[in-house]
Amino acid sequence: MSNTFNTRAMRRNRRAWNRLCGAMLCLTFAGVASHAQAQAAYPCPTVRLVSPYPPGGTTDILARIVAPGLSKGLGTTVIVDNKGGASSNIGTEFVARARPDGCTVLLGNNTGIVINRNLYKLKIDPVKDLAPVGMVASVPLVLYVNQSLPARTGPQLVELVKSSPGKYSYASGGSGSPQHLAGELMKLDKHLDMLHVPYRGQGPALSDVLAGQVLIAFDTTTALAPQLKSGRIRPLATTGAQRARTLPDLPTMQEIGFPNFVIENWYGLFVPAETPKALVDRLNAELNRVLHDASVAAKLGELGSRDVSGPVAQFRSFIGKELPLWESIVKRSGATVD
């Protein structure tokens, strides 16, 4: 009798346990399905990721690094659309005037967002007409010289230029570029008499430094990587607050006697200003997820970028600090565009 009772009790307990497990499993599947539905609810069948520069440059490279991960996370197609011209103003204005529906995103940089407003009569205000989503990368510049120049350190370069006022020139990829303004800041800080030679792009500027037509220039760690490995140019310093990850033995400008010299080329995602906060937050979350992916982080590290992921508020605050920096450099140097 006791054995029969125990057997019946065990069967009842087993049936109850199976029903409970089934209910829990259904709830789990429902939760997963609900989460998947919420994640798939991004309102655009296609997201246009606008690079305001021609193909092949750093901005375009970064756009193509993050686009696949964003596409997967948003559950939609993300295409890179190059809209170059007018020092990134054309592509930047295109996004600022787009519908604020989260379907058009800009991969902008410090030139288009905070520098050009001090140099051009723009039809928009990039700071007011665009909403920041998150930073993608931040890359320091490198002060470099032609190998024929006798200066082997930053202080030696300063003394060389001071000893022959007006003799030396520095190249940049165009007036108003961060590379141009870095040269102007160097001149201001040490009262140097150097001529600025603008080119139509960083590629031609680098070519003429290699050829010895101009002996001094700044450029990003990304652009200079092949030449630095070949030894055809001599790097003297980097412009970040810390030593570059890819050039750990190279001092910063601060270390060689320029205490206020911290400049980096930064890149980030932006959307039209009236884009709903929920969509901005969703884009920020997906961007951070992409940046934390090991393969993406490795690619960005190879380009010389540090980890810049963070919330929207962090990026907005950063831009607020960048505005007076670049405005001051433009005003103090008297820099103008061609």
Q: Which residues does 14 contact at the CB level (< 8 Å), separation at least 6? A: none
In whole angstroms, give the CA distance from residue 89 to residue 78: 22
Q: What angle do CA 181, 200, 119 make, to 5 degrees?
A: 40
**Residue 278 parent element (H or E):** helix 277-291
Q: What is the pLDDT of residue 200?
A: 80
Tell me how many helices (H) and strands (E) the chain has: 12, 9
Q: What is the pLDDT of residue 229?
A: 82
In whole angstroms, give the CA distance from residue 205 to residue 74: 39
Q: Which residues does 32 contact at the CB level (< 8 Å), separation at least 6? A: none
**Residue 140 parent element (H or E):** strand 130-146
Bridging pattern class, strands 130-146 and 216-220: antiparallel
Look-up: residue for tokens 């592509």? 91
Report helix, strand or coil for 275: coil
- pTM summary value: 0.83
Query: Could you read off the pLDDT of 163-200 as tens digits, one per residue?
Result: 999 999 999 988 888 999 999 999 999 999 999 999 88
In whole angstroms, give the CA distance from residue 23 to residue 150: 78
Q: Of 110, 57, 111, 113, nearest to 80 (Cα)?
A: 57
Q: What is the pLDDT of residue 12?
A: 59
Euclidean distance between the first and final Cα of the chain, in Å? Answer: 102
Written as tens digits, the pLDDT of the chain (338 aa) is 444 445 555 555 556 555 644 544 444 444 433 444 445 579 999 999 999 988 888 899 999 999 999 999 999 999 999 999 888 999 999 999 999 999 999 999 999 999 999 999 999 999 999 999 999 999 999 999 999 999 999 999 999 999 999 999 999 988 888 999 999 999 999 999 999 999 888 889 999 999 999 999 999 888 888 888 888 899 999 999 999 988 999 999 999 999 989 999 999 999 999 999 999 999 999 999 999 999 999 999 988 898 999 999 999 999 999 999 999 999 998 988 86
Please, are residues 135 and 266 in contact by the beta-carbon 8 Å criterion? yes
In whole angstroms, give the CA distance from residue 286 to residue 133: 10
Query: Could you read off the pLDDT of 50-60 as tens digits, one per residue?
Result: 999 888 888 99
Look-up: residue for tokens 């989260």? 102
Q: What is the pLDDT of residue 13?
A: 55
Domains of the chain: 46-139+265-333 (3.40.190.150), 140-238 (3.40.190.10)
